[in-house]
Amino acid sequence: MKATQQLHDLGQSLWLDDISRNLLDSGTLKRYVTELSVTGLTSNPSIFAKAVKDSTDYDESISEKLKAGKSGEDLFFDLAIEDLRRAADQFRPIYDQTKGIDGWVSLEVSPLLAHDTAGTVAAAKDLHARAARPNLFIKIPGTPEGLPAIEDSIFAGIPINVTLLFSREQYLAAAEAYLRGIERRIAAGLPADVRSVASLFISRWDVAVANKVPEALRNQLGIAVAKRAHKASLALLASSRSQQIKQAGGQPQRLLFASTGTKDPKASDVMYITSLAAANTINTMPEGTLKAFADHGDRGALVPLDGSDCEEVLNSFAKAGIDIDALANQLQDEGAKSFVKSWNELMASIESKSAALQATV
């Protein structure tokens, strides 16, 4: 039995952190669903920038949209929605079979809105309406300005993938925004079943401290932070507040492990998968990591429910001079800036491709 199937049978969802027209046209995504137990998909501006820039797969569609007067951001979202609708339709049977627990795809709002609460809410509503698929999450960063946008979007009935979370505290703040949104719906007499996932980024922790800690601590921080957040998520799910929401028809926000591609060439290429096996969670991974795990991965030991093996590791980093809370805030801020950079590169790719296609008309 493949390791991917073992994780699936454990109750952890395996999502692909990738999207491209070729992935859809070639039948590769369908094969990953049937052969590698993939049950969902995430996307981001960097992924789309690469897909558009490195192929001609989008040229015909871009040409059609240019003739219709589309350009820039509006043209991009049309392209992205076309791809994600197709992916959502492929995952729809899983979404239906699991009653909405699994089978999701994700589309991110413009990163330029990361510090614009009202603009983010408006964009989330618009994009979800344009996509017109029940199993499509809108991704909103869990920045301080993003948290009220998450709450308001949930209250508006928009399924949300909270992105750019780096610590237990940031996860809990995102979970609080989700709970408030659902509680407002209950108070208003609206259905409580609006889904959400909270995406905790893992590998960037280890990149950030790689040259600041002893060799014995390398590649341990991201996993320890993830285990601490997992413990917090279990406590939250068991709380009376969560249970009251469940009784009203709401469902728990699921914890998602993101940024799980190994960055250290000396380390195992599947270490963030084997170290984070946990039921009722999601692990979204790049295509290369997914294939590597299917080829030579091992399910690994389950993440301890009490988080007993993470605090000692975190204490070791504190003794080595690493301020976990400060670094979490730094990583979130850097992540938001990195998303803006990727977004600008994506818009440049769209503009360059558009100009080249118009020149051939």
Beta carbons of 48 and 75 less than 8 angstroms apart: no
The β-bridge partners of 201 are 258
Arithmetic mean of pLDDT, 10-14: 96
189-205 pLDDT, tens digit per residue, is 999 999 999 999 999 99
For the chain, what is the radius of gyration of the CA atoms? 20
Q: How far apart are CA 33 and CA 15, in angstroms?
A: 9
Q: How far apart are CA 144 and CA 122, in angstroms?
A: 17
Determine the pLDDT at residue 304: 87
Q: Which of 109-123, 141-155, 171-185, 251-265 comes out lowest in average pLDDT?
A: 109-123
Indicate the pLDDT class of residue 306, thresholds 50, 70 and 90. Answer: confident
Query: Active-site residue 231, yes or no?
Result: no
Instruction: Let me know if domain 3-359 sits in CATH 3.40.50.300.
Output: no
Arithmetic mean of pLDDT, 117-128: 96
Arithmetic mean of pLDDT, 40-44: 94
Catalytic member of 50, 125, 139, 337: 139
268-291 pLDDT, tens digit per residue, is 999 999 999 999 999 999 999 999
Q: How far apart are CA 332 and CA 325, in angstroms?
A: 11
Q: Which of 54-58, 61-65, 247-251 comes out lowest in average pLDDT?
A: 54-58
Domain ranges, ordered by start, for the chain: 3-359
